[in-house]
Amino acid sequence: MSIAQRSLYGGLLVTSLVVTAALVWSGWRLVAQQRELDARQVRLEAEASADAVAASIRQALADLGDGLSARLGSDGGAAVTAAVVAVWRASGGIVEPAGALPFVPWRVPGTHRSELFAEAEVAEFGEGSASVAIARYRALAREANPSVRAGALLRLARVLRRRGDTAGALAAADELVTLGQQDIDGVPAALAGLDVQRLTFADRRDIERARRAREELRQRLDRGVWRLDRGTAEFYRDEVSTAPRPEVWRLAAALSTVWDGHGGPALSERGLEVVASAGKPVVVAWRANDSAAALAVVSADRFLASLDRPGMRWRLSDADDRRVAGVTGVVAGATVSRVIGGGSSWTLRVWPSPDAAATGSRESLLIAATAGTVIFVWAAAALMARALRREARVAQLQSDFVAAVSHEFRSPLTTMRQMAEMLETDRVADEARRKQYYRVLASETARLQRLVERLLDFGRMEAGGDAPQHERLDLSTVVDEVVAAMAEPTSHHHTRIEIVSTASAGIVRGDPAALALAVRNLIENALKYSPDRSMVTVTLGREGASVAIAVSDQGAGIAKDEQAAIFGKFVRGRAAIAGRVSGTGVGLAAVKHVVDAHGGAIRLESEPGRGSTFTVLLPLDESGAPGADVTSAAAGSEA
């Protein structure tokens, strides 16, 4: 590489580095500015989201309080959205919606008529006379008062179970179930009857029916069918099932905790509390006066489920920083805080979601644009470097071509000048010697003529002039005439040309002169690179639907990495340059040009030290049988 080329490459590299550094610095500044703008925008969005979420929470609490206040009146009021409401009055309590809680927080009053059953119980327990007790219980079970009937049936079923009369016990239990909500010492008759059925089936070892009775009891308890206090509900639920309890149990437990903790029914006029029930926050709010209390209970996450904002996360905490609603885990990053108030001690914190894509998209776009520009700069630099290398290569090839042509012209001209001077000054006295000099002059003149014609032919090919004149011809004739014309000039090299052909290679359509030029160039190339006393073989035959002309030599061969470029113009192999073999680098290029113009292909098979074989494949002409219109290459061989 010359100093000028190194300077060009160095300048290109330095320019690319400077431009890259400027682009990276500019891109970094733009990204930094964009981050500041994005952070400011995110902060504003967080402020707006915090205000909106806080307003929604305050409004939800206000609506909940208004609904509870309306429940204190005798006319009730509109339903409280999403919450379960329990209203206590001295005359009794209700739950809305009905059955929404498995138990109520206050004590459920029971009907105690134990004096009516005293004589029967003395017979049952004191005297041990079951038959007397059964008779007395049956008599009471026929009373018109449902409360008396329910108590008698429960006691009757108990005695019958002890005596082993399971059928009688089940009949009493069935009758109990029909009495429904009728109270028996604080337990509904239907609940007591189903429990008797469960126990009686167990006594009878009727596993399936006992299981069905337990399942029915569990479902009714979970659905809040009966009005029970906490102790009674949890006792029976534990007796019949160990399955996980639904959310309503968690709500009822939270409501009971607040009721007991604040001295219910003597509650304060208003209040709001978050209770951790089964590890999850539950909101309990209440309003109370001298004669009534209305309490609402709802899961905190459900109560505030509609407060999510796109791209934002929030968390509501109480005064002890315990989570009320919102995301779980640790609050990370800068947050915006709001105090809720409205009877609560809650604090709202809002921050941007880490997976929000809006902030990072513009930054990514800037980074991608900077990276794309840098890649474009280096791609352009690479293309320019490639163009410089190509130009340098072309310049080198042209320089080598000029040197080779100069050498090709200088040798015969020097010989011709010396002999012409000797003949002009009559320094050759012998007539035979003068004739020899004349023959040499004629040979060197012909050599110069062939060289000039070859260069002119290649120039016309490159320029696209003199389009081939295609006609039907026999390639064996072309090869024979070219070899015959070249046999005499090669005799002083002691190199023999041998033709190997099939009986009928085939007819092709082509330009006789152009094809003869291609064959001559291949044979001359083989002769130049063949050692003394070797052989150049020209093989003519068929390969599929093509006529193949293969020219083989026993020369130095061509390396694999040079074979693809050897057909380029002005290209000469390393072996030719190292061996100082004469040539211009246009012979093989001309051959490829001719072959391509005839729709054929050329193939090279070579290994260093084992010679080379160039094979030309031309398509067969099957338009008609060869005849009188088949042309020889006599005219073309002279080229």
Does residue 83 have a pLDDT over 60?
Answer: yes
Q: In this predicted structure, what is the pLDDT of residue 192?
A: 93
Does residue 404 have a pLDDT over 60?
Answer: no
- Kindly state the average pLDDT of the residues 64-75: 82
Q: In this predicted structure, what is the pLDDT of residue 206?
A: 93
d(Cα 276, Cα 361) in Å, to the nearest integer?
41
Q: In this predicted structure, what is the pLDDT of residue 357?
A: 44
Least-confidence region, from 229-243, 315-329, 347-361: 347-361
Q: In this predicted structure, what is the pLDDT of residue 342?
A: 64
337-346, 540-549, 615-624 — which one is most confidently predicted on average?
Answer: 540-549
Which pLDDT band, with edges at 50, 70 and 90, does 10 fall under?
confident
119-128, 232-241, 294-303, 380-389 — which one is most confidently predicted on average?
Answer: 232-241
Does residue 638 have a pLDDT over 90?
Answer: no
Which pLDDT band, with edges at 50, 70 and 90, does 237 fall under?
very high
DSSP states of 531-587: PTT-EEEEEEEEETTEEEEEEE--S----HHHHTTTTSTT---HHHHHTT----S-H
d(Cα 104, Cα 111) in Å, to the nearest integer?
18
Contact 557, 632 (CB under 8 A): no
462 or 521: whose pLDDT is higher?
521
Mean confidence (pLDDT) of the chain: 81
Which pLDDT band, with edges at 50, 70 and 90, does 585 fall under?
low
pLDDT tens readout for residues 18-56: 988 988 998 888 888 888 887 788 888 888 888 988 888
Which pLDDT band, with edges at 50, 70 and 90, does 203 fall under?
very high
Q: In this predicted structure, what is the pLDDT of residue 236?
A: 93
Does residue 201 have a pLDDT over 90?
Answer: yes
- What HEC string does 174-202 produce? HHHHHCCCCEECCEEHHHHHHHHHHHHHH
Which pLDDT band, with edges at 50, 70 and 90, does 636 fall under?
very low
Bridge partners, 238 (sequence order): none
d(Cα 436, Cα 434) in Å, to the nearest integer?
5
Does residue 117 have a pLDDT over 80?
Answer: yes
Does residue 463 have a pLDDT over 80?
Answer: no
pLDDT tens readout for residues 412-445: 777 778 778 777 787 777 888 778 778 878 877 8
Does residue 111 have a pLDDT over 90?
Answer: no
C-alpha distances (whole Å) from 229 to each of 57, 106, 186, 205, 585 are 32, 7, 9, 32, 110
Does residue 400 have a pLDDT over 80?
Answer: no
Q: In this predicted structure, what is the pLDDT of residue 2?
A: 64
d(Cα 103, Cα 95) in Å, to the nearest integer?
9
Query: What predicted TM-score, i.e. pTM, was given to this entire model?
Result: 0.54
Contact 232, 187 (CB under 8 A): yes
Percent of the chain with pLDDT over 70: 82
d(Cα 349, Cα 47) in Å, to the nearest integer?
10
- Kindly state the average pLDDT of the residues 359-365: 69
43-57, 301-315, 332-346, 420-434 — which one is most confidently predicted on average?
Answer: 43-57
